[in-house]
Every structure is written in structure tokens, then in C-alpha cells.
Amino acid sequence: MKDKTYNQHPEHLSVLKNTQPLLDDFMVVDFLSDGSRDSLKPGSAMRVTLLKLKEDLVEHEKGKLVEELKGQFKRTEEISVGESLPNEMSKGYSIGVIVVYPDLEAIDSDAELHKSKVKDFIESEMVVDYVVPLPSAAEH
């Protein structure tokens, strides 16, 4: 099985081996992106969201949810939504969403919209925000 081979790849396993002494808990998620640009502009913000869907969600509802997610974000520069490769270490998180915004303020404007539209399908959600630093005066 291709996905099983991918998840057991030596590079994946070496990360786990090297960091395991530092960890209390971990999970592994691997997503196939539907496209991404090469780099992010300074000052832009990125939100990575992992979704664990409710167990009673049927397959056609999952596809509908993915399509709905793609159309929900208003002030984005880029969006990628995809399903996780099957993996027993993902702890049930099966959908990944990466959204790039022009700035941090734009994230807040989309947050409530996202929650209101998909909350009935979601059991759990993990979110990480990252802001690309602006160049410092010393770098000019």
C-alpha cells in the first residue's frame, strides 16, 4: 500500500526518533497540497487548521465539507484544503486547511465565518497561526 510505505519512510521515522526524548505526546499528519506558491510576503499571515470530523459523517458529506471550506474564506491570498493520507498516528485528524492572508488582521475577520459554517461536522480542531516577519531596519 503506497500510503503505508509513505508513512513508514525513513525520513518520517528519523524525525520521530530524534525528537521522541523531548515529547510528551505527538501526532503525525501528512497532506497532499492542492497547490502553493514558492514564498510568502513579509507581513503576511498563515493559518494551518487540522480538523477531526465527527465519526457519523458519511463520505459524501466529507467531500461537501472540503468544497465548502474552499469557498468560505474571504480575504485570502491563497488556500489549500485536503484530506490526510491514512495514518494511525494522525489521531483522527483527517482534513487540513492552509490559508494565507495579507496580514494578521485578515485572519480574525474569517475566523467566525469558518466556525459557523462547519461546526456541525467537526469533533475537534487544532489551529496554528504564523506571521512572516517584516524585514528589520538592519536588513535594509
Q: Locate the DSSP E strands across the chain.
A: 45-53, 78-83, 93-101, 122-131
Per-residue pLDDT of the chain (140 residues), as tens digits, is: 445 666 677 887 787 788 878 878 777 777 766 665 667 888 999 988 898 988 887 777 777 777 777 777 777 888 888 887 777 778 888 888 888 998 888 887 776 656 667 778 889 989 889 998 888 765 65
3-state secondary structure of 3: helix
Give the start-to-end residue ranges of the domains of the chain.
Answer: 28-139
Task: Quote the DSSP letter at residue 102.
Answer: S
φ, ψ (nearest 5 deg) of residue 51: -120, 135
The dihedral built from the CA positions of residue 99, 122, 34 and 7, taken in this order, carries a sign that is: positive
Q: What fold does the segment set 28-139 form as a domain?
A: Alpha-Beta Plaits (3.30.70)
| Angle (nearest 5°) at CA 109 between 91 and 123 | 20
Instruction: Give pLDDT, residue 60.
Output: 74
Looking at residue 62, its pLDDT comes to 78
The pLDDT score that the predictor gives to residue 105 is 84
Q: What is the pTM of this model?
A: 0.74
